[in-house]
Amino acid sequence: MATPTIPAAASEVEQLDRADILHGFATLHAQASSDVVVINSADGMRVTDSRGREFLDAGGGLWCMNVGYGRQAITDAAAAQMAKLPYFHSFGHFSNEPLIRLADRLLKLAPPGMARAIFCSSGSEANDTQIKVVRRYNNLLGRREKKKIIARLNSYHGSTVAAGSLSGLPMMHESFDLPIPGILHTLSTDYLRRPAHIRSPEQFTQYLVDGLTQLIEAEGPHTIAAFLAEPITGTGGVLVPPPGYFREVKRVLDHYDILLIADEVITGFGRTGSWFASPGLELKPDLMTVAKGLTSGYFPMSASLLSAKVADVLYADRSSHAMFAHGFTSSGHPVGAVIANANLDILEREDLPGNAARVGTYLLERLRERFDGHPLVGEIRGKGLLIGIELDADPAVRRPFAEYPKVSSLLSKACFAERLLVRGGHDRTMAALAPPLIATRADADEIVARLGRAIDRVTGEVKSAGLSA
Ligand SMILES: Cc1ncc(COP(=O)(O)O)c(C=O)c1O
């Protein structure tokens, strides 16, 4: 087969990229020889690169493209706001009307009890903000030792120094001297990789809750300030909690007076088939982090939401240090706020959470049919349009690949060859799906067809390379 020629302009920008940009989550030594995919345009579910290749974006960018690409209403709202007021800050007593409308709307949409919003630009910043809120809360209550935060293994909460510490992925810690002191990790809801003696999801819940209790007891409950969790773990493997998990966790946290922070950065704004994933999982947060789907990636914007329980303590401070000395230049950006409002209009008007529930159920069923008895598919799990397909060397005994990075690389290449963009797994071989919530059944069929061909190809390659041994 003849190698397709690369347009000269595309080749030039690819070279410049290789020479100039250090990409996050890239293997740097391989950069000089690896492909650069320069995405130039997008519409609906699809993105197109500088070589003219069109991809079905089943990863929703980075799990954030909820309303789909090319929404004119968002572009128009942003352009009008740019012309009227392109920027102003929200420190001290300054505000702007789009932001005020957004905050009001957000607090009404959020699970019951959320009383205040702090705006930031990224999910990482919003989680960092939660740490500071929790510290200040306990300082004001005179509990100077109650500062540690428990997150979970396999979680992803961002990549700043603090949020990267919260993330439970060793590769994010190893060469950056993380985690910082005061961040602990407990067991993850990874049912596929459960210990051999666990026989049922209910038993698994008990095992996880016991693990959390033991950690709290070992550290001293008076030192633990908060527990942070994604309702459904996203980047760390699309891990759905076993039944009753958050109800039981909350019981333990209440017993020790520990706050619960829900990181709804991926799961928020319809992704799992409802506005937020927490209520359906009996997760009752004291604090909640949102980002991504808040603007569907059209603008970098996030928020830390505070319940009245926490906010009231902060607002009662009359000391000489009462100023909340925290915030960012772009916090509460007016253009971001109109974009978020236009995005929420679309989610509401088109009932995209409902569509995510319906098409997500359909997609999950089609995937389970397509891969029924497949020699490499270990588990298919998820909720709404957040689905993970994990591969195993031997699904019958839940044996992962010894050389999972190699198999993961084959899988991502095979999906790419099918013009299908998916998210991968970190210490596992998987295809994670988080397509735009506008997906139709036909789109779901297309995802299954392309992923099916990709996984079949990987199966042949794994066999011939002896990687399932
Ligand atoms: C659950 C969760 N929390 C936080 C973050 C960090 O968000 P950001 O990349 O905007 O800093 C992410 C990003 O993927 C995430 O998935």
Closest by alpha carbon to 116, among 305, 313, 395?
305
Which residue, chain included where needed, has tokens 């540690």? 148
Considering the entire predicted model, what is its pTM?
Answer: 0.97
**289 vs 280: CA distance, rounded Å:** 17
Q: Ligand 1, atom 13: nearest CA belongs to which residue?
A: 158
Ranges assigned E (strand) in 148-275: 148-152, 183-186, 224-229, 259-263
Would you state the structure tokens that stand for residue 397, as one six-digit string? 């005994």
Q: Is the peptide bond before 241 cis (omega within 30 degrees of 0)?
A: no
**200 vs 194: CA distance, rounded Å:** 10
Identify whether the C-beta of residue 179 lies closer than 8 Å to the C-beta of residue 131. Answer: no
Closest by alpha carbon to 263, among 253, 277, 252, 251?
277
What does the pLDDT read at residue 324? Answer: 97
Pocket test for ligand 1, best of 25, 120, 264, 266 (most atoms within 8 A of CB): 266
Identify whether the C-beta of residue 189 lies closer than 8 Å to the C-beta of residue 239. Answer: yes
CA of residue 326 to ligand 1 center, whole Å: 20
Would you state the structure tokens that stand for residue 401, as one six-digit string? 């690949």
> From the first residue on, what is the mean pLDDT of each consecutive set of 10 residues in the chain (469 residues)?
69 91 93 90 97 97 98 98 98 98 98 96 98 98 98 98 97 96 98 96 98 98 98 97 98 98 98 98 98 98 98 96 96 98 98 98 98 96 98 93 94 97 93 98 98 97 88
Pocket test for ligand 1, best of 62, 157, 188, 189 (most atoms within 8 A of CB): 157
**54 vs 39: CA distance, rounded Å:** 9
What does the pLDDT read at residue 3? Answer: 59
**6 vs 10: CA distance, rounded Å:** 7
Closest by alpha carbon to 124, among 289, 269, 327, 234?
289
Pocket test for ligand 1, best of 124, 125, 155, 228 (most atoms within 8 A of CB): 124
Ranges assigned E (strand) in 209-314: 224-229, 259-263, 287-290, 302-307
Q: Which residues pair with 227 in a beta bridge?
A: 150, 260
* Ligand 1 atom closest to Cα of residue 267: 1
* Ligand 1 atom closest to Cα of residue 291: 10
What is the amino acid identity at position 8? A
Q: Ligand 1, atom 2: nearest CA belongs to which residue?
A: 157
* Ligand 1 atom closest to Cα of residue 302: 10
Q: Ligand 1, atom 14: nearest CA belongs to which residue?
A: 158
**51 vs 13: CA distance, rounded Å:** 11
Q: Which residues pair with 185 in a beta bridge?
A: 151
In this structure, the residues whose C-beta lies within 6 A of any atom of ligand 1 are 62, 122-124, 127, 156-158, 230, 234-235, 263, 265-266, 291
CA of residue 63 to ligand 1 center, whole Å: 9
Q: Ligand 1, atom 7: nearest CA belongs to which residue?
A: 123
Identify whether the C-beta of residue 383 lies closer than 8 Å to the C-beta of residue 273. Answer: yes
For residue 273, the 8-state DSSP code is S
Pocket test for ligand 1, best of 131, 156, 276 (most atoms within 8 A of CB): 156
- Cα 90 from chain centroid (whole Å): 26
What does the pLDDT read at residue 411? Answer: 97
CA of residue 288 to ligand 1 center, whole Å: 13
What does the pLDDT read at residue 223? Answer: 98
* Ligand 1 atom closest to Cα of residue 160: 11
Would you state the structure tokens that stand for residue 83, as one six-digit string? 């012309």
What does the pLDDT read at residue 338? Answer: 98
